[in-house]
């Protein structure tokens, strides 16, 4: 199932880039306060890119800029570009609603709707216009399978989402995000509210998902970043200090600040 | 129209309808206040404030006795409601988790929802019936009953906001509970409690139904508690449903005065609340 | 020793005043029953089904008033609910932050206007407008039972309209509170899945659904007990009619109008029995509404996120 994207509504294509997401000189302001300074970063396709850094360093703000979730905050302002598949999503004429179908998001605290498990996963499909039960059933099942939740809920699809445990609810939110067939999945500290076993399940899931999706994950847990990601970007005070192959960042960082952070000297 | 465009249009239309709803609701507000001000202001004259009603059919006269009557009734109501409501609120704040408190809180909520005319029947039963006479006292009791739930709720809420350190400090200095509550805790919440009383007063100042068969009405000057007494609200009602043009004019004047009184009470209460919030911010 | 004696005295004395409130509520119920006993004994259940209200003959049936109360209140709900919800949505979701407080204050102003002023405005401004509308209604529609009868202006239509205006601020202010308490995370989840603004609002409403129903019931409770404004525009005729044009009567209105004219005890008792029913109905509606509103406030949105200690504290509070 693919979603029709209103091509005329996206910004005209810029120069080609090998990366799935290409961030060019991106600044972000809350009112007068500048919280992101000149971020430039390449995020490759079908890999997991982790964003790490001490709290308050801007990594959450940054990841929320990729699907323009910050738009709902009144005094938010951005300059620079974020180019996805050759089109700048901050360019004029961008259809934000369509963007958010291509770029899914999973939040730190799972936030299922007060509906059944089935209706949660089907939500994105229904607002997209899918009506036939047969089609909905198929996609709901596929998404729950992909989120490694199907076996646990297949007999109670119409039970309330709140009946699930915290870890299950988070996987439900992942299934819900996957249902609309995004190309990119953003995860803002997806396991921070979960116990270790649930966390492991999520990390395994991320590993499986990357063959089909580009994943960007914010995490304050460096071990998690090291386990799960292919590339890592280190943020500090709203600036991108260093980015590169995860192994290099952790074992052979170029910047001293990076080295201090990954060795636990601060943060 | 593609599905995406349709969704966007639906969203815009729905949002506009909500804005329309706001306009539709504010329209009667503007109309009502507008008419009251227009017809009422022009009908106000010196006679209105100083004279009592003229006999049926004659023009002129005023609502002086009704204005005083309303003040008397509100005063009586406050006299009943403030002690009962405040002390009840104090009990609820001091023993918030007892089953008795839960029951009382529930009763206050129930009392709050009873239609004012039913309260009027009750006041009729206990004050008018035994002496077979309408009285200002009965009206005051009815209005007081209406005020009680509001005073109870505000008092309890405000007392619970008082920082516990205050009570501990008083008790540590050897004060008894009674003393601690009445000399330290209540005074610190007093401005808020008085605001609650103002709000309750504003609510009952405009009541008519319960007065119809408790304080009834009185065309003459009277402040006696055991006699029927005039009130702005009942007088406006009597004049409004009468066939006399001049009485209609006076009814608008009475309505205007009523709205002004209630507005004044509400504004004072709101300013007081804001002032309190500012004071309590460290 | 001294302190605990004082403690007990304090508890007793303040408790006495608190008990007074309890006694009052029970007393109201008792008094209403005691003062309507003649009517209860004479008519029994047929009081509620009887259509004749004949004080002269001493024959009392309260059906017209029950009908009028329910009809006018339902009308008020149908008219006020969309507007109240629209206002609540606008103020809490759509309006610029600077407008929120003034708009909220203006809506509450509607609630501060006394009933008698609504009634006065109703008689002299609303009723003539309604009458004009009744006359202008095209003839084919006039044949329907809903619009049949002489265009008097006063009648069920005017009553429903004025009640709707009076109810709007109550429903909307509670609905606003409910919407304000919907976690931002719910809306974010909707937006992240590519929802339009309205779709995200629908998610918020769905989350607060129970509380919003409670808000509507609160409005119903208000409408049921409203007296003055209704009696001034409804026509005060004890008849059961579907027509919006027809003058009708409500329970509160008949009590207000006829109480002081009830010379015989039976008459008075019949009126008070109506008051008893009004008392019971409004209590039930108000309790239901509070339960519904209260239940949304207590819902724990995410079982994992709320540590058990906090929940215990909340339960104790």
Q: Which domain holds residue B31?
A: 3-43
Q: Which of B8-12, B41-45, C242-246, C265-269 has the lowest mean pLDDT?
A: B41-45
Contact (CB<8Å) C189/A162: no
* Residue C231, domain member (yes or no): yes
Q: How many domains does chain B have?
A: 2
- Whether B143 and B31 map to the same domain: the answer is no
pLDDT digits (tens, 9 = 90+) for A57-91: 899 999 999 999 998 888 899 999 999 988 999 99
Cβ atoms of A229 and A50 within 8 Å: the answer is yes
Q: Exposure of C138 by Cβ count < 10 A (0-12 exposed, 13-18 middle, 19+ buried)?
A: exposed
pLDDT value for B16: 95
- pLDDT by residue (tens digit) across C33-52? 999 999 998 888 889 998 88
Q: Do residues B215 and B261 share a domain? A: yes
Specify the pairing of strand A231-236 against strand A87-88.
unpaired
Q: Tell me the CB-side half-sphere exposure of residue B7, using CA atoms within 13 A.
A: 17
Q: Judge whether C294 lies within some domain.
A: yes
The whole-number pLDDT of residue C285 equals 95
Look at residue C225 and tell me if it is in a domain.
Answer: yes
Predicted local confidence at residue C174, as pLDDT: 93
Give C82-143 as a 3 state SS string.
HHHHHHHHHHHHHCCHHHHHHHHHHHHHHHHCCHHHHHHHHHHHHHHHHHHHHHHCCHHHHC
**What is the band of C235 on the pLDDT scale with cuts at 50, 70, 90?**
very high
DSSP for C18-47 reads HHHHHHHHHHHHHHHHHTTHHHHHHHTTHH
Query: 3-state class of B98 per DSSP?
Result: coil
- One domain, residues B138 and B229: yes
pLDDT recorded at residue B182: 83
Distance from CA of C183 to the nearest CA of A (A): 9
pLDDT score, position B50: 82
DSSP state, residue A12: P
Q: Which two tokens stand for residue C248?
A: 């009708």
SS3 (DSSP) at A160? strand
Residue-level pLDDT at C6: 79
Look at residue A12 in the predicted model and tell me its pLDDT: 40
Task: Determine the average pLDDT of the residues in C122-151.
Answer: 91
| B194 and B87 together in one domain | yes
Q: Which of A254-263, C179-188, C246-255 has the lowest mean pLDDT?
A: A254-263
Tell me which chain B residues have a C-beta less than 8 angstroms from the C-beta of A6: 2, 4-5
User: What is the least distance, in Å, from the CA of A235 to any CA of chain C?
Assistant: 24
Q: Does the pLDDT of residue B175 top 80, yes or no?
A: no
CB-based contact C9 B178, cutoff 8 Å: yes
Task: Provide the pLDDT for residue B218.
Answer: 86
Q: What is the CATH number of the domain that holds C204?
A: 1.10.3720.10
pLDDT over 90 (residue C173) = yes
Q: Is the pLDDT of residue A5 over 50?
A: no
User: How many CB atoms are located within 10 Å of the residue B129 CB?
Assistant: 14
Determine the average pLDDT of the residues in B193-222: 91
Same domain, B207 and B111: yes
Predicted confidence (pLDDT) at residue C96 exceeds the cutoff of 90: no
Q: Are B25 and B138 members of one domain?
A: no
A177 conformational bin, left if phi > 0, alpha if psi -120 to 50, beta if neither: alpha
Residue B243 and residue B218 in one domain: yes
Is A107's CB within 8 Å of C185's CB?
yes
Residue C175 domain boundaries: 74-256+285-302
Number of CB atoms found within 10 A of residue C264's CB: 12
**pLDDT value at B266 more than 80:** yes
| Residue B140: both structure tokens together | 């005051």
- Residue C28 is assigned to a structural domain of this protein: no
Same domain, B129 and B208: yes
Chain A neighbours (≥3 Cβ pairs under 8 A) are: B, C
C295 inside domain? yes
Predicted pLDDT of residue B282: 56
The CATH number of residue B186's host domain is 1.10.3720.10
- Which residue of chain C is at minimal alpha-carbon distance from B199? C112
Once rounded to an integer, what is the mean pLDDT over residues B40-54? Answer: 85
**pLDDT of residue A13 exceeding 50:** no
Query: Looking at residues A126-137, what average pLDDT do you find?
Result: 93
Residue C231: both structure tokens together: 């009696």
Using the predicted structure, report yes or no on whether residue B81 has a pLDDT greater than 90: yes
Residue C31 located in a structural domain: no
CB C119 within 8 A of CB C232: yes
- Position C98 in a domain: yes
- The predicted model gives B203-227 an average pLDDT of 91
Cβ of A128 within 8 Å of Cβ of C191? The answer is: no
Is C30 inside a domain boundary? no
The pLDDT of C206-212, averaged and rounded, is 93
Residue C94 forms contact with A (CB below 8 Å): no
Q: Per-residue pLDDT for A189 more than 50?
A: yes
User: Which residues of C fall within a CB distance of 8 Å from B181?
Assistant: 10
Q: Which of C92, C94, C194, C208 to mutate to test the interface with A (most CBs of A within 10 A)?
A: C194
Domain count for chain C: 1
At C300, the pLDDT band (50, 70, 90 cuts) reads very low
Which pTM was predicted?
A: 0.86
Residue A57 pLDDT: 87
Nearest beta carbon to residue C82 from set B21, B32, B207: B21
Cβ contact B2–A6 (<8 Å) = yes
Q: Which two tokens stand for residue A126?
A: 């229904």
Using CB atoms and an 8 Å cut-off, which of residues 111-140 of chain A contact chain C? 111-115, 123-124, 127-128
């Amino acid at each position: 199932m693919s979603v029709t994207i209103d091509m005329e509504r996206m910004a005209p294509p810029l120069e080609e880039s090998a990366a799935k997401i290409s961030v060019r000189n991106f600044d972000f302001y809350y009112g007068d306060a500048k919280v992101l300074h000149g971020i430039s970063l390449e995020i490759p396709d079908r890999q997991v890119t982790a964003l790490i850094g001490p709290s308050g360093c801007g990594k959450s703000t940054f990841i929320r800029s990729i699907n323009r979730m910050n738009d709902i905050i009144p005094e938010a302002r951005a300059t620079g570009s974020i180019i996805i598949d050759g089109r700048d999503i901050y360019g004029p004429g961008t259809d934000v609603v369509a963007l958010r179908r291509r770029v899914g998001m999973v939040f730190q605290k799972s936030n299922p709707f007060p509906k059944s498990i089935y209706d949660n996963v089907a939500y994105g499909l229904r607002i997209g216009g899918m009506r036939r039960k047969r089609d909905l059933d198929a996609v709901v099942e596929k998404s729950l399978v992909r989120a490694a939740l199907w076996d646990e809920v297949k007999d109670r699809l119409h039970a309330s989402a709140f009946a699930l445990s915290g870890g299950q609810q988070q996987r439900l939110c992942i299934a819900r995000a996957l249902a609309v067939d995004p190309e990119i999945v953003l995860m803002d500290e997806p396991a921070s509210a979960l116990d270790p076993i649930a966390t492991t399940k999520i990390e395994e899931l991320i590993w499986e998902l990357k063959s089909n999706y580009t994943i960007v994950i914010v995490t304050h847990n460096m071990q998690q970043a090291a386990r799960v990601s292919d590339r890592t970007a280190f943020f500090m005070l709203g600036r991108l200090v260093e980015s590169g192959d995860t192994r290099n960042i952790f074992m052979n960082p170029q910047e001293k600040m990076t080295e201090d952070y990954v060795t636990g000297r601060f943060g | 129209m593609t599905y995406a465009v349709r969704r966007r249009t639906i969203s815009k239309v729905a949002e506009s309808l909500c804005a329309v709803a706001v306009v539709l609701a504010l329209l009667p507000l503007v109309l009502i206040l507008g008419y009251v001000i227009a017809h009422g202001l022009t009908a106000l004259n010196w006679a209105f404030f100083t004279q009592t009603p003229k006999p049926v059919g004659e023009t002129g006269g005023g609502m002086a006795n009704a204005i005083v009557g309303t003040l008397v009734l509100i005063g009586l109501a406050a006299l009943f409601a403030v002690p009962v409501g405040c002390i009840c609120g104090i009990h609820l704040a001091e023993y918030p988790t007892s089953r008795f408190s839960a029951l009382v809180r529930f009763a206050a909520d129930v009392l709050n929802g009873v239609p004012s005319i039913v309260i009027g029947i009750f006041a009729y039963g206990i004050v008018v019936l035994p002496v077979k006479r309408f009285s200002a006292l009965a009206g005051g009791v009815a209005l007081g009953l209406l005020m009680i739930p509001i005073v109870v709720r505000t008092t309890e809420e405000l007392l619970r906001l008082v920082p516990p350190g205050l009570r501990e400090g008083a008790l540590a200095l050897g004060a008894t509970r009674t003393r601690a509550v009445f000399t330290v805790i209540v005074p610190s919440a007093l401005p808020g409690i008085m605001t609650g009383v103002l709000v309750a007063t504003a609510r009952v100042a405009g009541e008519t139904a319960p007065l119809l068969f408790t304080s009834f009405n009185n065309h003459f000057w009277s402040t006696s508690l055991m006699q029927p007494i005039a009130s702005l609200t009942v007088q406006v009602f009597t004049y409004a449903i009468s066939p006399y043009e001049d009485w209609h004019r006076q009814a608008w004047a009475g309505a205007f005065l009523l709205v002004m009184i209630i507005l004044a009470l509400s504004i004072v209460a709101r300013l007081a609340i804001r002032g309190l919030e500012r004071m309590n911010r460290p | 020793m001294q302190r605990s004696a004082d403690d007990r005295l304090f508890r007793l004395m303040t408790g006495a005043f608190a008990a007074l409130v309890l006694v009052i509520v029970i007393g109201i119920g008792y008094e209403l029953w005691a003062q309507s006993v003649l009517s209860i004994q004479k008519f029994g259940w047929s009081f509620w089904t009887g259509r004749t209200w004949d004080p002269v003959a001493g024959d009392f049936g309260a059906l017209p008033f029950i009908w009028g109360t329910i009809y006018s209140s339902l009308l008020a709900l149908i008219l006020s609910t969309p507007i109240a919800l629209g206002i609540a949505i606008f103020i809490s979701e759509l309006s610029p932050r600077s407008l929120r407080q003034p708009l909220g204050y203006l809506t509450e102003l509607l609630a501060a206007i006394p009933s008698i002023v609504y009634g006065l405005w109703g008689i002299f401004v609303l009723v003539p407008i309604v009458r004009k509308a009744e006359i202008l209604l095209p003839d084919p529609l006039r044949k329907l039972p809903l619009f049949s009868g002489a265009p008097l202006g006063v009648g069920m239509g005017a009553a429903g309209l004025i009640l709707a205006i009076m109810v709007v601020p109550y429903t909307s202010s509670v609905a606003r509170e409910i919407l304000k308490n919907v976690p931002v995370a719910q809306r974010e989840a909707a937006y992240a899945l590519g929802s339009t603004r309205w779709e995200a609002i629908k998610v918020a409403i769905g989350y607060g659904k129970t509380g919003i129903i409670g808000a509507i019931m609160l409005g119903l409770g208000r409408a049921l007990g409203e007296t003055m404004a209704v009696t001034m525009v409804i026509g005060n005729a004890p008849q059961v009619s579907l027509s919006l044009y027809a003058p009708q009567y409500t329970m509160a209105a008949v009590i207000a109008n006829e109480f002081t004219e009830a010379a015989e005890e039976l008459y008075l008792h019949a009126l008070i029995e109506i008051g008893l029913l009004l008392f019971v109905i409004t209590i039930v509606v108000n309790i239901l509404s509070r339960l519904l509103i209260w239940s949304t406030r207590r819902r724990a949105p995410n079982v994992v996120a709320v540590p058990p200690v906090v929940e215990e504290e909340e339960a104790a509070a």
